[in-house]
Amino acid sequence: EAGKGPAAPPGPGDGGGSEVAAPAAIDMRRFTLAEYVLDFGNVIKGHQLQREFKVTNVGFSQVSFEFPKPLKAAIAQAGFTVEPDKVQRLPGAPDFETAEFAVVFNSARQGVNLGPIDLCIPLQTRSGPPVKIYLRANVTIPDVEVSSDALKFGSVFVGHMRSIHIQLSNPKEIPATWSFGQTLQGEGGSWKPCDEFTTIPSRGTLNPGESCNVQVVFHPRNAKNYSAKIPLKVAQNAAKRNIRIAASSDALRIRFDPPVLEMQPILPFVQESECSVTMHNATNARIEVYSADFDEQYLREEEILSRVEGIYSPQMIGYSDVALLPLRQP
């Protein structure tokens, strides 16, 4: 009607009011309160490491959580063990209590393969959003790559040497400690120690991405064919590797013509007898020849060497003690 003010809104008891729906319950599992990472880094296959972390209740009410059996089975399958597996009524304010967890990673567990592992563990609190913890590790083994594992030295004369260089490199994420073992010569279906090959250096450590050159030296003592191998060992790596070698050696030979000198009989202190002999080099290599009775340099060197006790003993001198000298000029 005219002259009247606006109508008052309907009250709670009025039948003309509309109903308001109550808010729906929120599923807290759809949210993540926080995410943390526990990274074990690079772990050598077969090793076991342990890490610890703490969970602190920074809220105002008690919290409880536990790992269900399917999650514990997945954790164990990945090589991890988490203790404790549940926490009951962890107090919050004003004490803000803390629970300590120990995580053990056993890379030797069956089913743990080489490569990265990334496992998500949700800590599901009752009536609250979960906290996600990521367990990470990279399972690896130290190793080196060899530029060539088959060496051919050809023919080398006894008393001479020939060397071939190979390169070792570390393709892994961790340092690799390597070493060469005793050279083995194949004879009659078995392998016997052989001292005619030397590696320089014989051992070392390579950091990730590093390389080094190794000199393999063939210095034969006898004329024969060689089919040998040099074992290469990398620490904490069970793989067996060998550097295979094929080589041969020949002795230097000279020939005299005539092979025997027959001197004519003479009277003492009256006249001289002279004969000529021709010496032939029966090889295709240069040969140094000198007289052990009359060469002055040889006699001086022998006099110096004679002062060293046991100098000619096979156990006294190794390849590293031998001086490699050029041929003397005539």
User: How far from chain centre, in Å, is Cα 270?
Assistant: 79
Strand partners, 327: none
H/E element, 139: strand 131-140
Residues of the chain with pLDDT > 90: what percent? 47
> Residues 217, 197: contact at Cβ < 8 Å?
yes
Which structure tokens are listed for 171? Answer: 């393709």
Which structure tokens are listed for 38? Answer: 């526990």
Q: State the amino acid at position 50 in one-letter form.
A: Q
Q: Is the pLDDT of residue 33 over 70?
A: yes
3-class SS of residue 153? strand
Q: First-to-last CA distance in the chain?
A: 143
**What pLDDT shows up at residue 316?**
61
CA within 13 Å, CB half, 128: 18
Between residues 85 and 141, the one the model is more confident about: 141
User: How far from chain centre, in Å, is Cα 140?
Assistant: 10
Q: State the amino acid at position 59 in one-letter form.
A: G
Q: What angle do CA 65, 70, 75 make, to 5 degrees?
A: 85
Distances (CA, A) of 291 to 146, 295, 316: 46, 5, 26
Between residues 273 and 98, the one the model is more confident about: 98
The phi and psi torsions of 300 (rounded to 5 degrees) equal -65, -45
Q: Dump pLDDT digits (tens) for 202-246.
A: 999 999 999 999 999 999 988 999 999 999 999 999 999 999 999
Q: What angle do CA 225, 230, 234 make, to 5 degrees?
A: 170
- Confidence band of 92 (pLDDT split at 50, 70, 90): confident
Mean pLDDT of 32-36: 82
Which structure tokens are listed for 78? Answer: 């990945």
> Residues 246, 151: contact at Cβ < 8 Å?
yes
State if pTM tops 0.75: no
Instruction: Tell which residue, 117, 113, 178, 110, has the closest CA to residue 142.
Output: 178
d(CA 297, CA 286): 20
Q: Is the pLDDT of residue 263 over 80?
A: yes
- Confidence band of 261 (pLDDT split at 50, 70, 90): confident
d(CA 200, CA 204): 10
29-33, 162-166, 230-234: least confident range: 29-33
Which structure tokens are listed for 227? Answer: 């089919």
User: How far from chain centre, in Å, is Cα 54?
Assistant: 35
| Strand-pair category, 131-140 with 34-44 | parallel
Q: State the amino acid at position 276 in one-letter form.
A: S
Q: Is the pLDDT of residue 18 over 60?
A: no
| Strand-pair category, 254-257 with 278-281 | antiparallel
Buried b (16+ CB within 10 A) or exposed e, 238-260: eeebbbebebbbbebeeeeeeee
> Residues 38, 78: contact at Cβ < 8 Å?
no
